[in-house]
Structures are given as structure tokens and as C-alpha cells.
A and B are shown apart, each in its own frame.
Chain A
Amino acid sequence: MSILSKVKEAVICLRAGRVTLPYPAQPRPTPPNFRGRPIFDASRCIGCAGCANNCPAREILVVDLCQEVRVLQYLGRRCTYCGRCADVCPEKAITMSRDFETATDHVADLGQRLELFMSTCQRCGRCFTPPSALDQLKLKGYRFDDVAHERWVFHSTAYGRDEPVVEDVEIELD
């Protein structure tokens, strides 16, 4: 009987009442283990670049300015908040915050830049063992991501041997 269905449907709506939340007038707290914007703690970071090597969106760039100074730049513009960086970080220097209201009129506001003083040999890779063979931390050597153009310099077999990785920068492939 269709009329009965309509009555039932009306009752469902009336019982439900008003369900809309008064957001954003009242902020809605996120659950404790929410994956929001990652926060980088410069005091803990040892500059291993594991986060950069495992970021699926390639949002974390690492560049060695000289033997002692390594810059780690998080762009934040197409970060998917997957939290892989926080997973692989051996020093727990990255926390996924509960902050998701990141709208801004200037995208650089979302970035974070860490200038790290590297005191020991970067080539020995002494820091720790990677968590698994799949989470490659690639500790050795220098990094020259293209910070000026905000590009990750890929260590990729997609390029032919003789092709330049980035047209205007010359970099040796792995």
C-alpha cells in the first residue's frame, strides 16, 4: 500500500528531527587519532630524509646546501595527509595533527621549512635500520631536490640513461 509507505516515510523524517550540525559556528572536534596536517619538529629531526623518500605525493624536498646544512622543505599543497612520513620517521619528529581547516589564500602558508645542522658523516648511514625492505630510506649521499621549482628529483627508471632528469639541472642518476 503506497499511501502507508508515504506515511511511514513522513514519520521517519519527523522522528529524525534536525540533524544538521552548527558547524562552523561551533567547531567540531576531530577524534584523537585523526590524520590532519603533519607537523615537523625540527628539534627531533635528524635529517635522514626517510619521509621524503616515502612520501607518495612527493611533497617533501631535501637539499644539501653544504656538508653541514641540510634543508627539508614540506610543501603541503598536494599533501594527502596519508601519514606515511610519520610512520617511517625513526625519531617521531613528525606528528599528524588534528588540524584540517587549512584553507588559505596563500598556498605557501601550508609549507614548513627545516634547516638542519648535520654534524656527522652523511655517507655512513649510521642512524638506524629501515623498518622494512619496502620502506626504503636511502640514507646515503647528498640530495638535490629542485627547491626553486618545488620539484622532487626522482630517482626513477622512467628516464632514459642519457636524458636529463630536470632539463635545467644536471644530476647523476642512481
Chain B
Amino acid sequence: MIAREKLNLFKQKFGPAINRADLTGENRVFVFVEPSALKSVCEHIFRDLDARYVIGIAVDDRPYSGTFLAAHDFAFDRDNILCSVLAHLPADDPRVDSISGVVPAANWAEREMHDLVGLEVVGHPYPKRLVVPDGWPQGVYPLRKDFAWNQAPEGFDEHQEFKFDEPPPGCTVVPFGPFHPTLDEPAHFRLYVEGEFVRGCEYRGFMVHRGIEKLAESVLGYNDIPVMAERICGICGCVHSVTYVQAVESAAGLRPPPRAEFLRTIMLELERLHSHLLWVGLAGHVLGFDTLFMQCFRIREPVMWIAEKITGNRKTYGLCVVGGVRRDLSSELEVELGQVLDRLETQWRTVLGAVLKDRNIRKRTAGVGVADASLVKETGLVGPLARAAGVAIDCRRDHPYAAYGQLDFDVITAGEGDVWSRLVVRAKEVLESIKIIRQCLAKLEDGPIGLKIEDELPVGRLGLSSVEAPRGEAHHFVITGENNRPRRWRVRAPTYQNLQGVPTMIKDQRLADMTISLASIDPCFSCTDRLETIELATGRARSWSHEELIRLARSRQG
């Protein structure tokens, strides 16, 4: 058992510092260490054992153990192991050593630990606010258990402007966003530009953070969360829903029936199909090549229709519950799905035949927004971004979940790490997805689609799950809890890591390449911020001030 070997390695090196170790299943390792040893253990795992950094999590565990918890998740991609290193911190002085100096990928996660739970991260290289806005009062931490889910803190100044860093000498500041034609969602990049060239940037995001994790651990129930998790992202909704239920299942020791696993796999791959087709189209759109955009969307539409027939909706499939899926796939729909895939494959091969030889697209994207293998390692980049840089990581193969362990498919890689490579990787992955769904249809056996859960789920168990979203690995961390809801649920969307690579990708590039560089990671700010979006149309032509809009929204009349 490889997980045990890893644990023995830790014990040999850090014996006295390890307080407790849990092996839950063959490929989950939870190591509880002394807070003082957290940094050296993480450094050892990241550097010497060459694990990939996934995410850092802070938990207010005071009502249960009287301490705070700080955790760092790592993935051993070659050994199919997800590992979490945890440390209990005293309630009166929750200080933890920053690991960002040795594991740069932990930068945002540690800032979020401070913003939301109030851990003091000692020695962080850039201890600036990340999630909460600058007007948020000092010393108020929304993810602590003594902060009610619907509480508005006293002293919140919503008019407080962000305090930005000084640009480097000789550089002009060019604001990019929060509202920009290529961004579908708000995020602000403050670009430092010297002539035509970007020399650096400062990122301020999380403008639409709505605290869905807080909602889950205080209001919703286990089976309410999958349909809410789905609304974290408008594109990879099913991914978040599956990741959440898998994390809960792994914590509670449940295994859904095989048919449910295959149905999940089919829907995840349908989601990847429509997402990749959408992204290739949008990349064309950002480059000013709208013909490609139109054709991609035309080819994509039948995928949305078949998803609607199977699940009852084009998007937000509402598919998963803990222990299984909600809807079965009828044999007529199986046949129809096969026909949709056949047509899609023919049409997509035709488009690929044209686009992959199109010199205009290639010239516009080759050498642009380069993320090389060392950046992938340092910043923890995932998904097509990593694969385009030649780093063959894919959770479907490395950490098989659902039915992927029984399927045969290739992990597409390219070597250049530029936007062109990402385009090629994603375009070819469409064909792999089609292959996967065909295998699923061939192997699908009759049987139940859900477990009958007789007992309440055990309390205080830890669960990890990683799912390969179209954009990269989505990772969820769950601690099960009382009252039919988790104590803590942490969502890490792929964009959370990928965005951290953007400043390096755009450095010393032309300003005009900023849009496609950013678009090439397929940024999903809603995933990163973990929100739900609500659009509000007034229908009348008048301008509203910020206060009027808020008042209108809060008056709750018709």
C-alpha cells in the first residue's frame, strides 16, 4: 500500500512532530503535525517528494476540539494519493508559519486563511487582503463559527476604495476590469505598463464572493449542497456537485453503485465537451475570429440539448445526491446520445482540420502567455494549462474517481506552454471525451442508481475529492458534521490556482496579448470567488446610483 509507505517516510523524517495519522482508504492520507513542524513537512512533501500543491484550508474547530485547524492539501499524482497535512492551533493564539516562501502556490490560500478565519500567517511574503474588501472591519472573520451566516459586521465601509501598491518606477498603470469586454465576470487587474509591454500587475478579485461555504455549513443540508454547489460555476457546475458528493462519500465511507458512477462520468464528459467547444469559440472571439465562435457554438448546441433531455436542464443538471444520482438514463436516450456523439465527431474533425492549420490563429497565439513547466510546479497550475506545458497531470487518470478507472483514454499534452498549445490540447480533448462517453455507454450495466442511506452520516470525518474539470482539477475538502450538514466545506476551483500564474504569464508581453492570455486560462471568477450570480434588469431607461440599487434590491417588492 503506497499510502502507508508515504506515511512511513514522513514518520522516519518527522517522527516526534507527527501527532496522529489517518489512512482513510487506500489513497487518502491525513497527517496531524505540530504547528511548528508544518512548514518543514510541507517543504519536504513539495520539494523532496515532488508532490503538487493543491490548497490550504483554515477551519474554526473551536466548538469541537477547542482549536483552529490549518491544513495544506497535496496531491501525489504518480501514486494516486491525496494527502492533507493538518495542524491544531491554540484558540487564543492561532498563529501558523507561512509556507508561501517554500511553496509559492500557497500564496492565495494563506491570505484567505487570514481573511476568512483569522489565522495569523507568520512570515507571508505578501500579506495583503485577498477575499474581504478593504472596507471590511479589522478582526472580523466571517468563517468563524461565532459569526452568524446572515450577520453584517458593524463598521463595514462599502465606499472604502482598495489600497493599491505603488507601481514600479517608469511604469504607467492601465486598469483592466472589473468590467472589461473580454471578462464575463468582475475581476480587476492593475497592469503596470512600460510602453507597450506589461511589466507586472496587481490582482484584486473576489468582488462577488457570497459565502456559499458559510451557507453550506450553517443553513443547507447534505443533499441541498449538491444543487447549490452546481451553481458555483455556470460551466463546470456538475463538476462541483460531483466533487462535493465524492468528498462526502469518501468521508462517510460510502461507495455509490456502479451505474451511478457511470452516469456521473457520462455527464462530466458531456460537460467537458460543451465547455471545450465553448472555450475554443470564445478564444476565437477574443482573437477577433468570430466565424470560429459561431461554428463552435453551432456544434455545441446539440450537446446542450441532449443534456437537457437526460437531466431536465441544459446546464445545472441537478444530477447528484450523496450516494448516487437522481435520474436514470433510458435506453432510447442512450441511442440518441450515441448519434449526437457521431455527428459531433464528424463536425469537430472538419473544424479541426481547418483551424489547426490556420496560420493566422497560430501566429496570434504562438509564444503568447507562456506558462512553462517550472511555473506549473511553483504555482500549482492545473488542467490544460499544465498539459500544454508538457506536464501530464489529469485527475481522471491520476486519481481515478467515478468510472474513470475502468476506461481507456489518452492524456493530451503539448510542449510549448503557450496559448496555441492550450488551444490544441483542448481541441483534441474533445475527441477523447467522445471516446470516453462511448466506452461508458458500452459498459453501462443495469442496476440501482443510488444508495439507500439508512443512518445519519458519521460526524467529524475528513473527506477529500479531486475531479478533473474542463479547466483543471477541482478539489473539495469536507469535514462532516452534526445536524445533517458539514462542519466545513472548502471549494478550490481550478481557476483559483491558474489565476495565480497569470502575472508571470503576461510579464514582458505586449498589452494587446493580455486579453487572450487571460482568456486562455478560461478564467472562471465565479468559481474562484464561490458565488451565485443574479442578474437584475430594470427595464426602464434611467440611471441608478449604487445606494438606489441596493435599496431597490432590499425593498423586496414585486
**A interface residues with partner B (beta carbon < 8 Å):** 1-2, 4-6, 8-9, 12-13, 16, 19, 30-31, 33-35, 54-56, 58, 78, 80-84, 87, 96, 105-108, 132-136, 149-150, 154, 156-160, 163
Identify the 10 closest CB pairs spanning chains A and B, nearest first. Answer: A158-B218, A35-B312, A2-B359, A8-B354, A56-B224, A5-B358, A82-B227, A158-B149, A132-B453, A31-B309
Residue of B nearest to A21 (CB): B301
**Given A133-B453, A154-B219, CB of A84 within 8 Å of CB of B227:** yes
Contact B359 A5 (CB under 8 A): yes
Minimum CB–CB distance for A169 against chain B, Å: 14
A134 in contact with B222 (CB, 8 Å): yes
Interface string of B338-380 (1 = CB under 8 A from A): 0000000000001101110111100000000000000000000
Task: In the complex, identify which listed stretch (B126-134, B260-268, B454-462) lies at the interface while the others stay far away.
Answer: B454-462
Taking A35-B318, A56-B220, A158-B219 as known contacts, 8 extra A-B pairs with beta carbons closer than 8 A to each other, sorted by chain A number, are: A13-B291, A58-B219, A81-B313, A83-B318, A133-B484, A136-B484, A157-B482, A160-B146
What's the A-B contact tally at a CB cutoff of 8 Å?
Answer: 120
Chief secondary structure at chain A's binding surface? loop
Chain B residues near A1 (CB-CB < 8 A):
357, 359
Looking across the interface, which residue of chain A has its beta carbon closest to that of B316? A80
Q: How far is the CB of B219 from chain A (nearest CB, A)?
A: 5
Q: Are A13 and B454 in contact (CB under 8 A)?
A: no
Given contacts A12-B350, A12-B354, contact A106 B227 (CB under 8 A): no
Interface size on B, residues (CB 8 A): 54
Q: 13 pairs across A/B with beta carbons < 8 Å?
A: A2-B358, A5-B357, A5-B359, A12-B350, A31-B309, A33-B312, A35-B318, A56-B220, A56-B227, A56-B228, A87-B326, A96-B312, A149-B556
Smallest CB separation, B226 vs chain A (Å): 9
Beta-carbon nearest neighbor of A77 in chain B:
B556
Q: How far is the CA of A82 from the CA of B317 in the complex (A)?
A: 8
A130 to B544, CA, bound (A): 48
Are the CB atoms of A5 and B223 closer together than 8 Å? no
A159 touches B148 (CB 8 A): yes
B227 / chain A contacts, CB cutoff of 8 Å: 56, 80, 82, 84
**Contact between chains at A132 and B454 (CB < 8 Å):** yes
Contacts of A82 in B (CB 8 A): 227, 316, 318
Give complex CA distance A6, B359 in Å: 9
Contacts of A134 in B (CB 8 A): 221-223, 321-323, 453, 456-457, 484
Q: How far is the CA of A84 from the CA of B351 in the complex (A)?
A: 40
Residues of the B chain whose Cβ atoms lie less than 8 Å from the Cβ of A149: 556
